[in-house]
Chain A
Amino acid sequence: VKAYNEDFYVLRQSGCVHAEKPFLFLIFGNDAALLEDTGVARREPAANGEKTVPTAPVVMDLIAQWAARKGRAPVPLTVIHSHAHGDHVAGDAQFQAMGVRVIAPTPAAIQDATGIKNWPNDIGQIDLGGRIVDVIPFPGHNEASIALYDRLTGILLTGDSLYPGLLSVVQPDLATFTASTQRLAAFVREQPVAHVLGTHIEQKNQPYLDYGRGTVYQPDESGLALSRAHVFELNEAFLAMNGTLKTFAAPQFTIVPRGAATASR
Chain B
Amino acid sequence: MDLIAKWAKKKNRAPMPLVVIHSHSHGDHTAGDAQFKTLPNVQFVAATPADVQRAAGIKNWPSDIGQIDLGQRVIDVIPIPGHDVASIALYDRRTGNLMTGDSLYPGRLYVPEAEIATYAASAKRLVDFVATRPVAQVLGAHIEQGRRPYFDYPRGTTYQPDEHVLQLTRAHVFELHEARWFRGRRRRHSHPTSRRPTGLACSPASCRRGGRAAGPTASKSQRGR
Q: Does A pair with B? A: yes
Residue of B nearest to A239 (CB): B131
Q: Indicate whether B197 reaches chain A with its CB closer than 8 angstroms.
A: no
Contacts of B131 in A (CB 8 A): 236, 240
Q: Indicate whether A211 reaches chain B with its CB closer than 8 angstroms.
A: no
Kindly provide the distance from the CB of A174 to the nearest chain B CB, expressed in whole angstroms.
18
A207 to B172, CA, bound (A): 14
Taken residue by residue from 134 to 150, chain B's Cβ proximity to chain A (1 for < 8 Å, 0 otherwise) reads as: 11110000000000111
- Which listed segment binds A: B17-25, B107-115, B173-181? B173-181
Q: Indicate whether B169 reaches chain A with its CB closer than 8 angstroms.
A: yes
A207-B136, A251-B169, A251-B170 known; A194+B150 contact, CB < 8 A:
yes
Taken residue by residue from 239 to 253, chain A's Cβ proximity to chain B (1 for < 8 Å, 0 otherwise) reads as: 010000000011110
Cβ A233 vs Cβ B149 within 8 A: no
Q: How many chain B residues touch the partner (CB < 8 A)?
A: 25
A154-B149, A194-B204, A229-B205 known; A207+B171 contact, CB < 8 A:
no
Cβ A208 vs Cβ B134 within 8 A: yes
Q: Which of A165-192 contact B (CB under 8 A)?
A: 185, 189-190, 192
The residue that A233 contacts in the complex, of B96, B171, B185, with Cβ under 8 A, is B171
Q: How many chain A residues touch the partner (CB < 8 A)?
A: 24
Q: Indicate whether B203 reaches chain A with its CB closer than 8 angstroms.
A: yes
Kindly provide the distance from the CB of B157 to the nearest chain A CB, expressed in whole angstroms.
22
A190 to B184, CA, bound (A): 11
- Mostly, the A contact residues are mixed
A232 to B172, CA, bound (A): 8
Cβ A207 vs Cβ B175 within 8 A: no
A194-B149, A251-B169 known; A233+B174 contact, CB < 8 A:
yes
Cβ A229 vs Cβ B171 within 8 A: yes
Q: Indicate whether B166 reaches chain A with its CB closer than 8 angstroms.
A: no
Cβ A229 vs Cβ B136 within 8 A: no
A235 to B136, CA, bound (A): 19
Q: Which of A184-243 contact B (CB under 8 A)?
A: 185, 189-190, 192-195, 207-208, 226-230, 232-233, 235-236, 240
Taken residue by residue from 81 to 104, chain B's Cβ proximity to chain A (1 for < 8 Å, 0 otherwise) reads as: 000000000000000100000000
Q: Indicate whether B45 reaches chain A with its CB closer than 8 angstroms.
A: no
The residue that B127 contacts in the complex, of A185, A189, A194, A236, with Cβ under 8 A, is A236
Cβ B137 vs Cβ A229 within 8 A: no
Nearest 8 pairs of A and B residues by beta carbon: A229-B175, A229-B171, A233-B171, A232-B174, A230-B171, A229-B172, A194-B149, A207-B136
Subset of 9 A-B contacts with CB under 8 Å: A189-B181, A192-B149, A207-B96, A207-B137, A228-B204, A229-B175, A235-B174, A250-B170, A252-B169
B residues with a Cβ closer than 8 A to A are: 96, 127, 131, 134-137, 148-150, 168-172, 174-175, 177-178, 181, 185, 202-205
A residues with a Cβ closer than 8 A to B are: 154, 185, 189-190, 192-195, 207-208, 226-230, 232-233, 235-236, 240, 249-252
Known contacts A208-B136, A232-B178, A249-B134; 19 additional CB pairs below 8 A are A189-B178, A192-B204, A193-B149, A193-B204, A194-B204, A195-B149, A207-B96, A207-B134, A207-B137, A207-B169, A226-B171, A229-B168, A229-B171, A232-B171, A233-B170, A233-B174, A236-B174, A250-B170, A252-B171
